[in-house]
Amino acid sequence: MKKPISATIDEKLIKWIEKELRENKSYRNKSHIIEIALDNMKSKKEE
């Protein structure tokens, strides 16, 4: 089950996320790209 959260993110990162969303159709929205990034971080840490 997914739950909404709120986060304060640097403006440069937001611009990068928006650029990725425009150029890479693999992501549905900002939440999706952030969730994938966090999942990747988690996987790396568990190695």
Q: How many domains does the chain have?
A: 1
Spatial CA neighbour of 30 closest among 13, 17, 39:
17
Handedness of CA 33, 16, 29, 31 (dihedral sign): positive
Give the whole-angstrom CA distance, residue 44 versus residue 12.
24
What's this model's pTM, rounded to 2 decimal places?
Answer: 0.80
The amino acid at 20: E
Dump pLDDT digits (tens) for 2-12.
Answer: 999 999 999 99
Q: How confident is the model at residue 1 (pLDDT cuts 50, 70, 90)?
A: very high
41 belongs to a structural domain: yes
Q: Are 34 and 17 in contact (CB under 8 A)?
A: yes
Q: What pLDDT, on the 0 to 100 scale, is given for residue 4?
A: 94
For residue 42, what are the domain limits?
Answer: 12-20+27-46
7 belongs to a structural domain: no
Dump pLDDT digits (tens) for 17-42.
Answer: 999 999 998 999 999 999 999 999 99
